[in-house]
Each structure stands twice: as structure tokens, then as C-alpha cells.
């Protein structure tokens, strides 16, 4: 959950989000070093009158400033491709949940159970209880088991939506007529909030997502009570 005036990412809850945070730090350090080097060279050019007459025609300099950017791009591309393939990999999911986007709410169906489905609407501000978060609380949370691979099948029944939970590193478009899939796995229990991240109409801001990750035994009790 983000807090006011937060500048960085939310704490990682899944292995994929941890990898994304490491990649962000890795890339940001490269950008910082390049920016420092460019600023240093600009400051030298502005503060000194000394000029090396053969610098602009030196073959060695041109070779260096061609090869060095290529090496830097490879250092960024290889970890990026690795994480991209990790995000698309699906290994024997323990549970499948189908998510459908509507104007302006989400509906969920646990396909491994015979009759377990519900709609999830945002709770209006006047109906909030003390301690609940405005524009983020829903009437039916998505309860899932932690430390298990879960497959989310995501689509839409009307317009484009996007199912996004930042702390899990998830953002998948919900497209009418198309079934997208993603996987999630939480390393710890808790409540994790997200929102629709695709402008979908006048109430786009009012279709939040709340995942409640619990140990398996509590999930089994919850699923039994819902059937």
C-alpha cells in the first residue's frame, strides 16, 4: 500500500516484483553514471579554454563512443529480457481465477470450483467504516492462498480495462473478446490494493482491486463458506 508523498515503489510482495525492483535500481545506476559523465564533460567545456586539436578527428575516440553505448544497451537489455520471460512463464498453477472487467466493477470466478463467483464493487465514501480507505475498498475482496502459483485469466465485457496490482508487479489489459493471462504468487499474507489502469469511461477511477492473501487453511475455510 502506498503512503502519502511516496516517491519510490511499493514494497515487493512477489518474486517478480523483487526482480523488477532490482532491475529498476540497476538501470537507474547506469542512467546516473551517464548523466554524471555528461554533466562533468559539459562543465569542463564551459570552464576551460584548452583544446586538443586532434580530438575531433581521432579514430580511437569515435570507436570508443560507438562501442561503449552498445555495451551499456546490452547490460540493460539482457536483464530486461530475462524478467520478461519470467513474467510470461506459467508453471502448473494451483488455482485459476477468471477476472472480467465491466463498466465500472470487476467480477471474479474461481474456475476450479463449481459455483464460486461474485462481483466486486467499490464501497461509496459515505458507507466506509473507520480505517477503511477511500476509493480503494470493495464489498467483496478476492481471497487467494499465499505461496502458491495462481493463474489469472483476464478479459472484459464492454470496453478496455487494465487489471493492475503494483505491489505484486501485475498489470494486464482486459480486452473484449480476448483472454489474457498472468500469474501471481505472494510471499507473505496481507491486503494488496490496485485499480483499473486503462481509461474506461466516466467512472474509471471507481473500480478498485483488493486482493486478500491468506494461508491455505484460511483460504479453504473461506471457499467452503462461499459455496
Convert the pLDDT of each residue in 39-83 to its tens digit: 998 998 888 877 666 666 677 778 888 999 999 999 999 999 999
Q: Which residues contact 19 (CB under 8 A, 6 or more apart)?
A: 83, 86, 169
* Centroid of chain to Cα 218: 26
Convert the pLDDT of each residue in 149-206 to its tens digit: 999 999 999 999 999 999 999 999 999 999 999 999 999 999 999 999 999 888 899 9
Q: What is the pLDDT of residue 53?
A: 65
Q: What is the pLDDT of residue 114?
A: 85
Structural domains of the chain ordered from first start: 13-86 (1.10.287.90), 93-224 (2.60.40.420)
Q: Please, which residues bridge with residue 196 across strands?
A: 163
Q: What is the pLDDT of residue 115?
A: 87
Q: What is the pLDDT of residue 47?
A: 87
Pairwise CA distance, residues 180 & 34, whole Å: 38
Q: Which residues contact 226 (CB under 8 A, 6 or more apart)?
A: 116, 118
For Cα atoms 208, 20, 138, give the angle at the middle one, nearest 5 degrees: 10
**Whole-structure pTM value:** 0.84
Beta strand extents in 29-185 (DSSP E only)? 95-102, 105-110, 117-120, 142-145, 150-156, 161-165, 170-174, 180-184
Q: What is the pLDDT of residue 56?
A: 62
Pairwise CA distance, residues 114 & 107, whole Å: 16
3-state secondary structure 70-90: HHHHHHHHHHHHHHHHHHHCC
Amino acid at each position: 500500500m502506498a503512503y502519502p508523498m511516496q516517491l519510490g515503489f511499493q514494497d515487493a510482495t512477489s518474486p517478480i516484483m523483487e526482480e523488477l525492483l532490482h532491475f529498476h535500481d540497476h538501470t537507474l545506476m547506469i542512467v546516473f553514471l551517464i548523466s554524471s559523465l555528461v554533466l562533468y564533460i559539459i562543465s569542463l567545456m564551459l570552464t576551460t579554454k584548452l583544446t586538443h586539436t586532434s580530438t575531433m578527428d581521432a579514430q580511437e575516440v569515435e570507436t570508443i563512443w560507438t562501442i561503449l553505448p552498445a555495451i551499456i544497451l546490452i547490460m540493460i537489455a539482457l536483464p530486461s529480457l530475462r524478467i520478461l520471460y519470467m513474467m510470461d512463464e506459467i508453471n502448473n498453477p494451483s488455482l485459476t481465477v477468471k477476472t472480467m472487467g465491466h463498466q465500472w466493477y470487476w467480477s471474479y470466478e474461481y474456475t476450479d470450483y463449481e459455483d464460486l463467483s461474485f462481483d466486486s464493487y467499490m464501497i461509496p465514501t459515505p458507507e466506509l467504516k473507520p480505517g477503511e480507505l477511500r476509493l480503494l475498498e470493495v464489498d467483496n475482496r478476492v481471497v487467494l492462498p499465499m505461496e502458491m502459483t495462481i493463474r489469472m485469466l483476464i478479459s472484459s465485457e464492454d470496453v478496455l480495462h487494465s487489471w493492475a496490482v503494483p505491489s505484486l508487479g501485475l498489470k494486464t489489459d482486459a480486452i473484449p473478446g480476448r483472454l489474457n493471462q498472468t500469474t501471481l504468487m505472494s510471499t507473505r499474507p496481507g491486503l494488496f490494493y490496485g485499480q483499473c489502469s486503462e481509461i474506461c469511461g466516466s467512472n474509471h477511477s471507481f473500480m478498485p482491486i483488493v486482493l486478500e492473501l491468506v494461508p491455505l487453511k484460511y483460504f479453504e475455510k473461506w471457499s467452503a463458506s462461499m459455496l
